Structures are given as C-alpha cells and as structure tokens.
Amino acid sequence: METEFNTSGARRSTRKRRKVSSTDASEQTVTQEQTVEAPTKEFRPTRKRKGKLNSLLSMPLDILFEILGHLKPYDLLRLARTTKDFRRLLMSKSSISVWKASLREVPGLPPCPPGMTEPAWTNLVFSPQCTYCLATTRNIEWRFRARVCKSCSKTVLGNLRDRLYASYFLFDGQEEPETLEDRFQRLPLMSLIANRPDTLVLKRKGFAVQFLRLYRNRSVNVADIIPDGVDFCNFEPVQELCRRPVEVEVNLDSFAAILPLLPDLIHAWREKADESLAALLKKSVPRTREVVSWVDEDNELCSRVEWKPIPYDGMTNAQVLGKLKLATAAFTCNICTIRRRYYDAIFEPWYDSDDSDEVSNSQIFFYPQVISHACLTRDESVVDWIGWEFYETLDPSLSLKGGLSKRCSWSSSRLSLDVQAGNIVAEILQLAELDPATATPHDMDELHLRFACLRCSKDADESEPYQDDSYERDMTDMPLMKWRQAVKHYKDSHGGYSVKDLRKYFMKIEGIQLDDDLKAAEADYRNQWDAVWQCMHCRDTPQEKSPSTLRKALEHIRTSHSITSSVLNTDYCKHPTHLDLESSGPLFCVSYIAGDFSVADRQPADDPPSFSLF
C-alpha cells in the first residue's frame, strides 16, 4: 500500500475515519463544555485511620507497663500478636516485668521453668493451638514443651523422643535427667486446670494410692499379698469415688467407706491372679515321650517313640490350682533373667575370681510370693528404656520416679515355668524325705533344713574342691543354704550336671546339727547382705525403690525421712517376696571339721552393687 502525504509534507494515515453523526457531534461538544466548566477539586493526601490501641504506644513506658501488667497472660499474648509495634515492644527483654506480673496473677500456676521464656511459657499453657498444625487441642506434652494434637502425635512425638533419648545418654545419665526431673516436677497439670474432671480424677487417685499405702502398712503380716495402685484404682468402689461429680469433695477420709469391702475385693483379685498362673502352668508343661521297645516275630529288636499325654489335660481348674501350689511349680521372670545376664557381664570384673558366682543370672519364684514380684506390675519394655516412657506420668497410680518405667496392671505374661528348677526341687524334696507330688513351699519352710554343696566345698587338708561323695572328711568353705537358695545354686552353678547327681553332692543338715551361735551368725549375715528390705514410707509412691540390704534401707530412712531410730514394721519391713529374694544373696559358708559346723573365714569382700528389680 502506498503511503499518502498531505500538501505540507506530513504523513497522512491511511486508516478509514468513522463518520460522525450530528447527534454524536453535539453530545461531544456538550461533554467538552461541561469538562471545561467543572471546577477543579483540591487534592489532599489520605491518612490511614489509627487503631484505638495505637494511642497506647505514645504513653510513657512505665505507665504502659503498669497497665499491661494487669492483663491476663493469654490476653497479653494476643495483644503482642496484633501489630508489629506491640510485638516489638512486648517481645523485648525490657518488658519481662510485664509478663511476670501477669503470670503472678494466675492462682496456682507454677513458675516459668528454666530455659523457657515467659511468652513461650504463656503460649504453652494457655494457647489452645497445636504447636505444629495450629489445630485446637487440649493435649499438652509437658516433657516436650509442646501442644500436640492427635494427628501430629503419630509423627512428631517419635522425633522428640529420639532427641530426649540423645540428651539423656549424651550426659551419661547424670546431669540432664536430673535437670529434666527437677524442671518438670514443678508442672502438675492439677495446678494448671484445677476444675477439669480428668484432673480431679488424677487428684483423687492420689488419695486412693495414699489410702492403699496406709492399709498395706497396717497389715503386720508380711506374707499378705495386696495389689498395687493400678489394680487398686481399678476396683469398682474406688472408681466410683474417683469419678464423682466436680462439686462433690473427695479426700483421703472418703476412702474409709470402702475399708469393709477390701477383703472381698482383694480376694477376687487374688482369684484372677491364681487363674492366670494356673493357665500359664497348664500351657507351659511340656509333653514327654518314651521309647517303647519290643522283639518282633523275626526275633528283631524294634522300637518307636510314643508321646505321653499332657499331664494337665482333663484336669479341672481346682486340680490345676492344686498343682500351682506345689513346690515343684517354679517360675522364672523373663525380665529379671535378661537384666541379670547384662548385670553379670558389667559387674563381673569387680569381683575376685572366687566370688564371681555370688551374683546369679536368674531369679526363681514360688507360689504365692510370685504374685508380688515387682516386674509383673511394671511397664519397662526395651522401647521404654530408649525414651518412649522416659517422662513421668501424671497419674499417681502409674508414676515411678526416674521415668524409666511406670506401673501397670498385674500380668503373668513375663513369667515362664522353669522346668529345670522344678526337677531340682523334686530331688531336694526327696532328699528332705517329702513327696514331690504333695509337698508345698510352706512344707519345706517348716522343716528349717539347710543344704550344703559338697562340689563347692574344699578339702580341709588339700584346699582343693571336694571330690568324694562321703561325709567323713573335713571340709572348708562349704556353702550353707536354705532350700530355695540350694535350688538356685545348683541350677546356676551346676546346671550342666544331671539332676540325679544332686543327692550325691548335696548334704542335708538338720537344725539340731547347728548350734545357736552359728544360727545367729547366719541370721546376721543374711540381714547384712540379703536385699529384701524396703522403706514403708515410700511404698506405693513414685519414690518406691527396689528391695535393698538392711544397712541401705536404714540409711535411706535416715537421709530421706529424717528418722534416726527406725522401727521394724513401722519404718521398714521385708518385701513380700523376701523368701524368694533371699536365694539371690551371697552364699554363707561354714567349715565342717570333725563332724561340727562353724563359721568359715571366707566372706564377701565388699557389698555387691545394688541390682534393681524395678
């Protein structure tokens, strides 16, 4: 297309022009006239309207801080989140007095723990949002200083537990766990939200556990088997008291109403425990077999293996319970056995070679003491030791100080029937002239027999292990044991030998063969070394410890409870399983010279390191 130019030489557009009607032209003229005639408005810059709270920032800081100190902590936190100016002011170190004054106005609120700022403490306690997804939740993980909702707990808590586990072992279990306990011991949920129903249940459970401890300490019979706090709080009358409405006051005196019901409640609990042990016994007895031989028609010797029926098949529950009460029904705790093996591996170098067998790698229990074994009411799996349950629970019926375990309902799942120990007991019963089919542990205790191991004794002349099966020669360093310790000793030290050899190497000693001085020396030795004593002030509390020697128990009562003159069965007592725990103590050795027994010179060199069954 050619470009057109006008006469003046300027370039002219080739685009077609739109025809303008007369009406459009007139409207355009009017618009132009109106535009020219309209008065011009003066331009004024606009300002944002200030918030009503913005005027506070122009006040002197001392007056402003005095005003803000009267706000509730959560209101103060929300004010800090309104504008950048308020956030800059309230999050500075100069405003810490405002936060402290606000937090002091909350009754019963624990102080801010070390290592945590007041705003962070306020956010943890009062803000209802999840720390990770901001969803509304009431669950606070105090040990991790975070609110965690149900959906986040599955993924977040695992990482936090790993961090807690790392911090625990990074400080070799010394400084950091103690700091954590001291730090979070001051954060009871009951003080934070005192009127919540679930918090009141925890508070009332504390009264229930305290009532249980008083009831247990009132029982002068050490052999009484009473459930722990978890099973006690599961009794229906106790639950009814703990779950009463908020407006109903429940204290320690309220539980006195269930005192007449306790014998029947404990008896019903014992029956369930007996049924559980009977079921364990019934399914644990192995099938036996025998080889049947005969001569056939061709005069050839033939044989086949025939399995005998399970001994308890076809028995009623009452008959199985009768078998449970026999002395041949020996049980082993799987947890104690595993932990004692590691214990031996760690502490064996601390002992001389002659004393390395003093610590056993197994623990044998008999009915009914087995019901009171601590591991049956403790939840401390391997995962728990790595940090899953490192924190202490707020439930007083579950809590144990230290956080390495917590209480749980009684269960026989950690027990195993010890067939080998049962066979050893049968041989000892025959040595004591009792019938293994009818004899009970109580029958053996009533005989007050002692057993000496000839295999561990030394010839008085040659100082070598005694190899003869006669009792005519003089011997030294002869272990003198009660029947429970004899069973344990033979299993741990001579388990590789045939059980039938026991009666050849064990000497039965009647009580009349031992003079009063030797019996007194044995009793003093047992009190000194057997870890069977416990503090009655700490029973059923988070501070409860494993049984210890008498010296350690008295020292604990003196230092922890400021009692210098301790009274037996008032301040300290023997553990309900003391008869079985005595078998784990060091051996008491005597000399056998010219047919008379006397205390041997060989004694343990030092107190063995304490072993915790909890």
Could you read off the pLDDT of 262-292 as tens digits, one per residue?
999 999 999 999 999 998 988 887 666 777 7
pLDDT score for 14: 52
CB of 573 closer than 8 Å to CB of 533: yes
Q: Which residue has the higher pLDDT, 94 or 8?
A: 94
Q: Counting runs of H as helices and runs of E as strands, what totals does the chain give? A: 23, 19
Assign 87 to helix, strand or coil.
Answer: helix
Pick from 170-174, 252-256, 418-422, 524-528: least confident: 170-174
**Residue 296 per-residue DSSP state:** -
Q: Tell me how far apart the alpha carbons of residues 440 and 428 are, in angstroms, rounded to a whole number.
A: 12
Q: Treating both helix axes as pointing N-terminal to C-terminal, what angle do 96-104 and 118-126 enclose, rounded to 10 degrees? A: 40
Cα angle 393-111-138, degrees, rounded to a multiple of 5: 50
462 pLDDT higher than 70: no
Q: Output the pTM of the full model.
A: 0.63
Q: Of 55-64, 108-117, 492-501, 566-575, where does the model show the most confidence?
A: 566-575
157 pLDDT higher than 50: yes
For the chain, the average pLDDT equals: 76
Query: How many Å is the maximal CA-CA distance in the chain?
Result: 156
**Per-residue pLDDT tens digits for 369-385:** 999 999 899 876 433 33
Q: Tell me how far apart the alpha carbons of residues 284 and 286 are, in angstroms, rounded to a whole number.
A: 6
CB of 591 closer than 8 Å to CB of 598: yes
Mean of pLDDT values over 383-407: 58
Torsion of CA 529, 533, 535, 536, to 10 degrees: -160
Assign 475 to helix, strand or coil.
Answer: strand
Residues 6+ apart with CB under 8 A from 598: 518, 590, 591
At 594, the amino acid letter reads A
CB of 220 closer than 8 Å to CB of 233: no
**Per-residue pLDDT tens digits for 167-210:** 333 333 333 333 434 444 444 433 334 445 567 888 899 999 99
Q: Tell me how far apart the alpha carbons of residues 181 and 506 are, in angstroms, rounded to a whole number.
A: 51
Q: Which residue has the higher pLDDT, 32 or 388?
A: 32
**Per-residue pLDDT tens digits for 400-459:** 775 557 889 999 998 999 988 999 999 999 999 999 999 999 999 999 999 998 888 877
Mean of pLDDT values over 553-558: 94
pLDDT score for 175: 36
| Pairing of β 301-307 and β 364-365 | unpaired
**Tokens describing residue 391:** 């924190």
Rounded to 5 degrees, what are φ and ψ at 534? -140, 155
Q: Tell me how far apart the alpha carbons of residues 610 and 347 are, in angstroms, rounded to a whole number.
A: 10
Q: How confident is the model at residue 247 (pLDDT cuts 50, 70, 90)?
A: confident
605 pLDDT higher than 60: no
Mean of pLDDT values over 471-500: 83
Of 318, 212, 306, 346, nearest in space to 266 by CA: 212
Of 430, 523, 519, 532, nearest in space to 483 by CA: 430
Q: Tell me how far apart the alpha carbons of residues 557 and 552 are, in angstroms, rounded to a whole number.
A: 9
pLDDT score for 354: 36
**Tokens describing residue 180:** 């954590």
Instruction: Count CA atoms closer than 13 A to 438's CA, side-chain side.
Output: 3
